[in-house]
Structure 1
Amino acid sequence: MELYRGSSTNQMDYNDDGRGPKSGKMLASNDERLDNSGLDSLKEEECTDVVVSDFGRMSMAERQDEPWRKVLTEDGDTYLHLAIIHEAKEAALKMIHLSCGDPFLNIQNNQRQTALHLAVITEQPLLVEQLLKAGCDASLVDDCGNTALHISCRKGSLACFGLLTQGCPQQLPAILQTPNYNGQKCIHVVAIQGYLSLLESLIQFGAHINAQEQCNGRTALHLAVDLQNFELVKLLITKGADVHSFTYGGHTPYHLTYGRANTDIQKVLYELTAPHLRELPDSESEDNDEDYEDQCISDDEDIYDDIKMMGQV
């Protein structure tokens, strides 16, 4: 499935906040993903030696005795966390295989990240799949309230998104209703990023199309108007989004077209909005964009620093 990201202009910063593991290296990627939870006490080369060499030298009996499960770094990372961060895939798979159903898989580091969070951050779908099969809890949240699915929605990772939505069917309804600490559910994160195919999938999986984010009550349709994403507006309307939904300040999606450049969005919503709901309410400033940006800080500048990706720094 090809990821289709609807066009948007004048896009404002609505991204959910989150933080990741420090491992002493910068994650190199097109998104410039950052993570700030790492191994300050170890150089990257030393860390890799610990994960790959030391674990590799352990006999099967020693691995089953589980001494490696008890080791934590000063940042709360386990050997499994480190193996995932540094993409030591074979070592990570061995630990996962030896830990099926064990609480070890759900240990959270000082950033409250599980191995599953890190596998999604580093975009390693094979590890995501094996972690889910081994019993990793997909409903756990990091220190910014993000589940692994929140992270895959922000990154637009199709493979990880597919595994998370299909690999934990009993947990999925609750995960879809979980807001992060910026008040955003997965449907809001996807709408902000403009991933049309993922948004459509979320709706099919049961995400509430008219769910309100908790900062000021915007729905995905409100966000689409704010971001001037006409393709997203059309998709949401086609899927049954309520054009008469109100933010906490009493604004409909049409109200948010005032002063915006995209007249196509304004025309569509004008025709669908009841005449008595077209006029702006008196409290015109309650939903202004600056207030919203202050409450929902971008994560692009400070999350997921210091991860090594694909052997690059």
Structure 2
Amino acid sequence: MSSDACSKDDLLEETRTDSGIDSYRSILKSEEPREPSTDFSGPRDKCSIVDERLDSAYGSSSITVESLSDMVDDFSLSSANEEQAQGSELSEKEHFLTTITDDGDTILHLAIIHEDEFIAQELIQLFPKEVLDIQNDLYQSPLHLATYLDLADIVKSLIDKGASLELQDQDGNTALHVACQHGQKECTTEMTRGVSPSKLAQVFRTQNWRGLACLHLAALNRQHQILKLLMKKGADPNIQEGTSGKTALHLAVELHDITLVKLLLSNGANVDAVMFNGCTPLHLAVGRQDAAIANLLCQFGADKMLRNMEDETALDLADGNDDILALFPFDDIQISGRSVVGVKF
């Protein structure tokens, strides 16, 4: 399929069943963002549409939770002797345990999908990091799946064992993106605890195929606690999304979420951050006739005279709203950068 064939709706709504998860859409919350994200139409080369399908092993009589347990127990008892006999090569039993299904899932993927935490924990301890980072046909790692299902203990074990935080799924989301989007606070905590600042900074900068970083997804989905945690861990509150240059503050203004606006401003968000078209948060607040947020932005020192690429100030967008016009007293009017107050005509 050519990249041009992928529409915006392809990026906003899942149309297939997740490999290994009986109903992808029933487990995940809708990925359709609120109003602010309708501008987003990120790179198309990564997206694809495939027929709805089920995991080849999930629900199969040949692989059940009980059989998974038997295989893991058998492997645990015999692995030490086999490693001595086989040297550095994988034993036949280990090779079986790391076999990939037709949908790209390892047995660890399947254990997580079945939400069998005991088996998953056993496998995490048995497998090397390389196996923990295997991605299925939807580019989901075990860490992605554990996060989707909000299995915080599994997430912790994967992180402790060295599972990569930087892997991206078919939508460009890291596991941390998933946690931010769906409000998995405990998973977010585990993925940011004890991780080096440099590694976290890389993940915080990563954009999915719609141009959204973790902070943007937290803002769009009103995940206030997660957003606060990300900024505490060093996430840049002024990072711009990749399609129109909005910061989390722009998104909060568009959502009319005054609590989120205040949270961002109190944690270092630039009140005068500009989008690619030159619009500041104040432009957006006034344009949406939101006097309360416009007033809050002014209290935090928003520059009322900044112009966008259409040469408009925020006042130009007031459209006769008296509550908003009251925020722009005449002593703010300037000509050629000089106040007109006290000037005699």
Cα contact 1:39–1:73 (8 A) shared by 2: no
Match of 1:199 in 2: 227
Q: How does 1:155-194 map to 2 (within 5 A)?
A: 155-169=182-196, 170-194=198-222
Deviations 1:259-301 (A, max 9, x none): 4253201222245322321x554178xxxxxxxxxxxxxxxxx
Give the equivalent residue in structure 1 for 2:68: 52
> 2: distance between equivalents of 1:38 and 1:51?
23
* Whole-angstrom CA distance in 1 between matches of 2:109 and 2:133: 10
Per the alignment, residue 56 of structure 2 pairs with 41
Distance of 1:220 and 1:56 partners within structure 2: 45
Quote the offset at 1:143 in angstroms.
1.5
RMSD: 3.0
Deviates more, 1:50-59 or 1:82-91: 50-59
Alignment of 1:1-313 (within 5 A): 21-23=18-20, 25-26=22-23, 28=26, 31=29, 39-42=54-57, 44-46=59-61, 47-49=63-65, 52-53=68-69, 55-56=71-72, 58-59=74-75, 60-61=77-78, 65=91, 66-99=94-127, 101-169=128-196, 170-271=198-299, 272-277=301-306, 281-282=309-310
> Unpaired runs of 5+ in structure 2?
1-8, 33-50, 84-90, 313-345
TM-score (norm: length of structure 1): 0.76
Following superposition, the deviation at residue 48 of structure 1 comes to 2.7
Q: Which has the higher contact order (CA 8 A, sep 6+)?
A: 1
Equivalenced residues, count: 268
In the alignment, the residues of structure 2 paired with residue 152 and residue 97 of structure 1 have an alpha-carbon distance, to the nearest angstrom, of: 23
Q: Highest Rg: 1 or 2?
A: 2
Deviation at 1:150, TM superposition (A): 0.8
Q: How big is the shift at 1:132?
A: 1.2
Q: Aligned equivalents of 1:37 and 1:97: distance in 2?
A: 33
Q: Distance in 2 between matches of 1:61 and 1:98?
A: 12
Cα drift, residue 240 of structure 1: 2.1
Alpha-carbon distance in structure 2 between the residues aligned to 1:92 and 1:77: 13
Distance 1:38 1:55 in 2: 26
Bigger shift: 49-58 or 77-86? Answer: 49-58
Structure 2 CA distance for partners of 1:181 and 1:61, relative to 1, 3 Å: same
- Judged with a 3 Å threshold, the aligned counterparts in structure 2 of structure 1 residues 40 and 246 are, in CA distance, closer, same or farther, namely same
Q: Following the alignment from structure 2 to structure 1, what is the Cα–Cα distance between the partners of residues 247 and 179?
A: 20
Q: Which runs of 5+ in 1 are unaligned?
A: 1-12, 285-313
Whichever residue aligns with residue 64 of structure 2, its letter is: T
Could you report, residue by residue, the CA deviation over 1:30-84 in whole angstroms, capped at 9, with x for unpaired residues? 83689x9864434525343586255246342269631234411111000000110
Amino acid at match of 1:149: L
Is contact 2:21–2:113 with CA below 8 Å preserved after alignment? no
Tell me: CA distance 1:51–1:182, structure 2 relative to 1, closer, same or farther (3 Å). farther
CA 1:50–1:248: 2 relative to 1, 3 Å: farther
Q: How far did residue 224 of structure 1 move?
A: 0.5
Retained in 2: the 8 A contact 1:249–1:283? no
Give the counterpart letter for 1:151 in structure 2: V
Task: Label 1:283 to 1:119 Cα distance change in 2 as closer, same or farther (>3 A).
Answer: farther
Report % sequence identity. 34
Distance of 2:245 and 2:289 partners within structure 1: 23
